[in-house]
């Protein structure tokens, strides 16, 4: 009897300890922003008005050299949520879901699925994976087709006047949606109204309600919120456009189209919108106007982020919440004559990445470590005390959170028929037919001159390194196969 009582007391003690540990497990707040360049004050660029992101940066580790895996929404978000190098198209997550085989050695649960299986309530609001609401079908409303099965405890969505998720995705003010005749939608717009006149304001309202609900629960939460702006079309309430009415915008560096072979493209996405007959590649005034509306869209997104962070504080949740701000890729604002993403230049692949943890050392100090989007998955597992899958492509960034340290690392990215490797000095790009580009970032010309012929030993070294990484690309039924 004595032994039984002793065991019971030990069991109760263990249960009590487990409960205590459960209560102190950190929450996770993941803030995703579409097409966001690292042009913010916390990245040393003063003309953008982003006070809320900049304030978050003062209590974060700012990763100055974060690179995404692919310069396109769906593929970049696949890498973030699956933690693996993968396909380079917008259907990546849906194709993974369709070919899901939990017995395959290639299978690993998504980041939110792993947290959910470890007792977290997982919620996604807005554009987190790719489709707002997380469903497929012709108008993204088919509940039998799920983008990320078993990942979210709930994924609330309200289309409101935009009618459905597809209309919501690229919507402008008062329910205007992007239709098959894209040229009828203005490439930028200003509307004098509340934040909710555009879809991102609706996303914020839902996120605030979700925070209220999550604050009432004992279990920890993983809340992901994704905003559409500054994705095309550039639309924001008038007061954000007014911020840049008299702002002097910087000139476009390297505005000329390359005269050598590159991943340059015709800026097709932007060119399909109504541009009033103007072309930013030859019309400087129109180019600056586009930059002004892009900046306004960034400030609009920043305001939404501020509202969520403010509510987190008001609810007393900030002290025990890991906050991550992540841009799914960059965007070319005229560099090398490109207006858009979809290329393997620096401007498309580099994006903001901030991690704030309770009690972070050297808060507000940036790091020059070269990191990748796939590093987010193992990092959050590490910080939350969750064992990650064995086959992730990235590594925990705890070392950079503990100390900014010296620059090190490489970043691997891919799109279409080419792949690229970025280190502290060079960007190497290899096309499927073997043609290569090499750019020297220690040169003032950076990615405006191909120096491959001048550094044959660097080309060979980076070719070997890139092929080693390329061989780990995720392959599934129907997925593209790496070019190597």
pLDDT in tens, 385-413: 999 999 999 999 999 999 998 888 999 99
The token duo for 461 is 């070294």
Share above pLDDT 90 across residues of the chain, in percent, rounded to a whole number:
87
pLDDT attached to residue 355: 98
Domain contains 84: yes
User: What is the tens place of the pLDDT at every residue in 51-64?
Assistant: 999 999 999 999 99
What pLDDT does residue 14 have? 36
Note the pTM of the prediction, 2 decimals: 0.93
Instruction: Residue 329: give its domain's CATH number.
Output: 3.40.720.10
Q: What angle do CA 368, 371, 376 make, to 5 degrees?
A: 130
Does residue 249 lie within any of the structural domains?
A: yes
Q: Is residue 16 part of a domain?
A: no
Three-state DSSP at 13 gives helix
- Asked whether the beta carbons of 154 and 206 are under 8 A apart, the reply is no
Q: Is residue 78 part of a domain?
A: yes
At 466-481, the pLDDT tens digits run: 999 998 887 543 444 3
Going across the sheet that includes 121-126, the strands are 121-126, 221-227, 27-33, 321-327, 353-356, 61-67, 366-372
Predicted local confidence at residue 101, as pLDDT: 67
Q: Which residues are catalytic?
A: 73, 130
Which H or E run includes 222? strand 221-227
Q: What is the pLDDT of residue 105?
A: 65
Q: What is the pLDDT of residue 102?
A: 65
Q: Which two tokens stand for residue 156?
A: 């609330």
Let me know if residue 37 belongs to a domain. yes
Q: Which segments in the chain show pLDDT lower than 70?
A: 1-23, 100-103, 105-106, 475-484
pLDDT at 9: 30
Structure tokens at 349: 């692949």
Nearest to 297 by CA among 327, 336, 254: 327
The pLDDT, as a whole number, for residue 249 is 93
The answer to whether 280 and 269 are in contact (CB under 8 A) is no
Host domain of residue 91: 25-402
Whether 113 is covered by a domain: the verdict is: yes
If one counts every other C-beta atom within 10 angstroms of the C-beta of residue 288, the result is 18
Paired strand residues for 322: 28
- Other CB atoms closer than 10 Å to residue 405's CB: what's the count? 12
Which secondary-structure segment (H or E) carries 420? strand 418-422
- Residue 477 has a pLDDT of 38
pLDDT confidence of residue 100: 66
SS3 of residue 264 by DSSP: coil
Count of structural domains within the chain: 1
Report d(CA 471, CA 484) in Å as an integer: 7
Interatomic CA distance for residues 78 and 55, integer angstroms: 28
- Is residue 428 domain-resident? no
Domain-located, residue 89:
yes
What is the helix (H) or strand (E) element at residue 438, kind and residue range? strand 436-440
């Amino acid at each position: 009897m004595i032994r039984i009582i002793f065991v019971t007391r030990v069991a109760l003690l263990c249960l009590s300890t487990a409960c205590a540990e459960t209560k102190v497990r950190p929450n996770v707040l993941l803030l995703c922003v579409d097409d966001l360049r690292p042009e913010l004050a916390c990245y040393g660029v003063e003309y953008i008005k982003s006070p809320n992101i900049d304030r978050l940066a003062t209590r974060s580790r700012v990763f100055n050299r974060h690179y995404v895996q692919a310069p396109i929404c769906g593929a970049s978000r696949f890498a973030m949520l699956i933690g693996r190098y993968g396909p380079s198209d917008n259907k990546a997550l849906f194709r993974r879901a369709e070919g899901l085989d939990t017995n395959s050695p290639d299978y690993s649960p998504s980041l939110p699925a792993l947290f959910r299986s470890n007792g977290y309530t997982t919620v996604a609001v807005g554009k987190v994976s790719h489709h707002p609401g997380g469903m497929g079908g012709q108008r993204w409303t088919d509940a039998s087709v799920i983008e990320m099965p078993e990942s979210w405890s709930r994924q609330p969505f309200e289309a409101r006047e935009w009618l459905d998720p597809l209309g919501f995705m690229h919507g402008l003010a008062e329910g205007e949606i992007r239709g098959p005749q894209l040229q009828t939608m203005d490439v930028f717009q200003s509307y004098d109204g509340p934040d909710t006149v555009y879809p991102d304001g609706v996303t914020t309202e839902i996120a605030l309600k979700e925070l209220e609900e999550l604050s009432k629960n004992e279990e920890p939460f993983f809340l992901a919120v994704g905003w559409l702006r500054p994705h095309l079309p550039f639309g924001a309430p008038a007061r954000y456009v007014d911020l840049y009415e008299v702002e002097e915008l910087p000139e476009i560096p390297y505005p000329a189209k390359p005269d050598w072979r590159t991943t340059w493209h015709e800026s097709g996405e932007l060119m399909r919108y109504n541009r009033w007959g103007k072309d930013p590649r030859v019309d400087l005034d129109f180019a600056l106007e586009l930059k002004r509306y892009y900046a306004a869209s960034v400030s609009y997104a920043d305001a939404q982020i501020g509202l969520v962070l403010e509510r987190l504080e008001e609810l007393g949740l900030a002290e025990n919440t890991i906050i991550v701000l992540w841009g799914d890729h960059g965007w070319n604002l005229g560099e090398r004559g490109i207006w858009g993403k979809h290329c393997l230049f620096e401007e498309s692949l580099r994006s903001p990445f901030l991690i704030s943890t309770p009690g972070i050392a050297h808060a507000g100090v940036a790091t020059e470590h070269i990191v990748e989007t796939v590093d987010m998955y193992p990092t959050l597992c590490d910080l939350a005390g969750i064992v990650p899958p064995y086959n992730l492509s990235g590594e925990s960034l705890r070392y950079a959170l503990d100390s900014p340290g010296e620059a090190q690392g490489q970043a691997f990215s891919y799109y279409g028929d080419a792949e690229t490797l970025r280190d502290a000095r060079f960007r190497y790009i290899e096309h499927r037919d073997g043609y290569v580009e090499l750019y020297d970032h220690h040169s003032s010309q950076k990615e405006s001159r191909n120096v491959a012929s001048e550094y044959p030993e660097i080309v060979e070294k980076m070719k070997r390194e890139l092929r080693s990484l390329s061989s780990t690309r995720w392959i599934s039924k129907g997925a593209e196969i790496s070019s190597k």
